[in-house]
């Protein structure tokens, strides 16, 4: 076998692996990237990019039906489902060159297009090569989890890896799983003309603040998405026209197509981690805050590290690992400043602690400030008045922010910065936002923290009175 010696061997060409490879090679390290699947990983090919492209098409369809309040006569859109998927494919194709083998080879990365497996604590075999590296980085990501529901092996089902290739519009799409993927796909497909039923074993959007999730779920139900909660699935069966989903309480739902959206499992099974002496569980590689595994030569980033499963988390991990691997600096990850968003309409976004988490951690020291969208002039002009922002504050600094409403995914960035930089609420309150913008929602929420101290404070009123009386 051909033997390759390098500084860094990265296993996985998704967000974390590509970010690390590009940064390391441009700073002078010798880098080998091993990828047996598609460059760009799940995010480009079956996750973030195609889902947001599909959602964009669905928004255009929905706009044609919802113009009456603005004096625009609604009309029924004529959806060409195959053409929608052409749009999805074009978006992927436009972004793909940034993640391509050609680009990374041009940067100086040696790309091995094969699956890799460890054969010792210091060697990886891939594509007829044995790669020895000073440091290895596992960045293999995750794949859809398909639960062992009775009958699952006998029915056709979709996952996020296959649904975007579906060119015939589902008549009735059943989605098992009411998390972010399930709810995004539910609304998008309903707006594109499908009947949609979501079946969730617990609470839909259960990881988010319940008050915020309720805003989103109310809109989806109002649009016509059927959401069945507290409904564990007991069995699946093929029918002449599709699939039947049985619920433990005796109910059943029959549809033409089934989407599994119940979570993801880390992709580690091909790596032979035992040979490398790398401790791991079903959740991922066991790492410390420095992202190092039980084998000090081997790091894990992104989903493989067993934490938050977000593309931007993988990119953040890459930066943490680079500082340690390239410069020998002590570098540790944290999660308190990592935001996430669900791209329904309205959107749902979070950074730091939710209200419940902050109450548990800080008790009486916590102040929760709120501002509703309907008090925002731009929201009124756009007809986007559903939603609110909540900011959790301890000793004048935000420790969490929750937003449900239009452009929540954009607005959460300010609070991610504030938490990351340790800014005080006064910094946000003192910001001048252009009028009229939704950005004022954040400024008003910050201002609400100071309002009781200024407007309900007798001492302030006495001081103002004295100044007005005696100021020349």
241 marked among binding-site residues: no
Q: How far apart are CA 132 and CA 125, in angstroms?
A: 9
Does residue 182 have a known ligand-binding role? yes
**315 known ligand binder:** no
Looking up tokens 């390391």, which residue turns up? 24
The reply, when asked if residue 242 is annotated as ligand binding, is: no
Instruction: Give the number of other CB atoms < 10 A from CB of residue 463.
Output: 11
Q: Which burial class, exposed, middle or buried, applies to 410 when counting CB atoms under 10 A from its CB (0-12, 13-18, 19+)?
A: middle
User: Residue 260: what are its φ and ψ, rounded to 5°?
Assistant: -90, 120
99: left (phi over 0), alpha (psi -120 to 50) or beta: alpha
User: Is 200 annotated as belonging to a binding site?
Assistant: yes
Residue 454 Cα to chain centre, angstroms: 38
* Contact residues for 266 (Cβ-Cβ < 8 A; gap 6+): 140, 141, 142, 282, 283, 284, 285, 303, 304, 306
Determine if residue 177 is labeled as part of a ligand binding site.
yes
For residues 429 and 364, the answer to whether their CB atoms sit within 8 Å is: no
Alpha helices in 66-179 (DSSP H): 81-95, 101-107
Is the Cβ–Cβ distance between 177 and 60 less than 8 Å?
no
The reply, when asked if residue 263 is annotated as ligand binding, is yes
Joined tokens for residue 418: 């504030």
HEC readout, 404-416: EECCHHHHHHHHH
Alpha carbons 191 and 50: distance in angstroms, whole number: 16
Helix (H, G, I), strand (E, B) or coil at 156: coil
Residue 211 labeled ligand binder: no
- Does 141 show up as a binding residue in the annotation? yes
- Token look-up 């859809």 returns 144
Phi, psi at 128, each rounded to 5°: 80, 10
Known binder of ligand: residue 183? yes
Q: Is 184 annotated as a binding residue?
A: yes
**Is 132 known as a binding-site position?**
no
| Contact status, residue 136 vs residue 9, Cβ threshold 8 Å | yes
Whether 116 has a binding-site annotation, put simply, is yes
Residue 285: beta bridge partners? 280
Two tokens at 204?
């839909």
CA angle 65, 70, 71 (to 5 degrees): 90
C-alpha 456, offset from chain centre: 40
Q: Was 7 annotated as part of a binding site?
A: no
Name the binding residues for FAD. 52, 116, 140-142, 303
Name the binding residues for NAD(+). 177-184, 200, 263
Name the binding residues. 52, 116, 140-142, 177-184, 200, 263, 303
């Amino acid at each position: 076998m051909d033997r390759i010696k390098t500084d860094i061997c990265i296993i996985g060409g998704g967000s974390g692996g590509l970010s690390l490879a590009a940064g390391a090679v441009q700073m002078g390290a010798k880098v080998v990237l091993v990828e047996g699947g598609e460059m760009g990983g799940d995010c480009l090919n079956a996750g973030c990019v195609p889902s947001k492209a599909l959602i964009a098409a669905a928004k255009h369809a929905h706009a044609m039906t919802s113009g009456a309040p603005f004096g625009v006569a609604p009309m029924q859109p004529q959806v060409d489902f195959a053409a929608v998927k052409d749009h999805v494919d074009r978006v992927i194709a436009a972004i793909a060159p940034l993640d391509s083998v050609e680009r990374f080879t041009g940067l100086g990365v040696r790309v091995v297009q094969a699956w890799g497996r460890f054969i010792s604590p210091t060697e990886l075999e891939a594509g007829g090569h044995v790669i020895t590296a000073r440091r290895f980085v596992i960045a293999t990501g995750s794949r859809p989890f398909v639960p062992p529901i009775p009958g699952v092996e006998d029915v056709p089902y979709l996952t996020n890896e296959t649904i975007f290739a579906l060119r015939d519009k589902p008549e009735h799409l059943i989605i098992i799983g009411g998390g972010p993927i399930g709810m995004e796909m539910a609304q998008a497909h309903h707006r594109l003309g499908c009947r949609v039923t979501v079946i969730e074993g617990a609470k839909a959007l259960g990881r988010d603040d319940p008050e915020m999730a309720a805003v989103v779920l109310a809109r989806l139900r109002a649009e016509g998405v059927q959401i069945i909660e507290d409904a564990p699935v007991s069995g699946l069966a093929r029918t002449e026209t599709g699939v039947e989903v049985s619920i433990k309480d005796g109910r059943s739902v029959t549809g033409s197509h089934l989407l599994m959206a119940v979570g993801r499992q880390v992709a580690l099974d091909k790596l032979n981690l035992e040979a490398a002496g790398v401790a791991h569980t079903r959740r991922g590689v066991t790492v410390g805050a420095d992202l190092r595994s039980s084998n000090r030569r081997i790091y894990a980033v992104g989903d493989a590290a067993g934490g938050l499963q977000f593309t931007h988390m993988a990119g953040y991990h890459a930066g943490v690992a680079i500082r340690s691997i390239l410069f020998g600096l002590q570098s540790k990850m944290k999660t308190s400043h990592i935001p996430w968003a669900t791209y329904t309409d309205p959107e749902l976004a979070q950074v730091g602690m939710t209200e419940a988490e902050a109450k548990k951690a800080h008790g009486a020291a916590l102040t929760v400030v709120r501002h509703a969208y309907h008090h925002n002039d731009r929201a009124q002009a756009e007809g986007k008045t559903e939603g609110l922002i909540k900011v959790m504050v301890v000793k004048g600094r935000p420790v969490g922010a929750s937003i449900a409403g239009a452009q929540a995914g954009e607005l959460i960035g300010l609070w991610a910065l504030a938490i990351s930089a340790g800014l005080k609420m006064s910094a946000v309150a003192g910001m001048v936002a252009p009028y009229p913008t939704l950005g004022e929602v954040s400024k008003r929420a910050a201002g609400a923290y100071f309002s009781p101290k200024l407007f309900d404070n007798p001492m302030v009123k006495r001081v103002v009175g004295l100044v007005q009386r005696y100021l020349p």
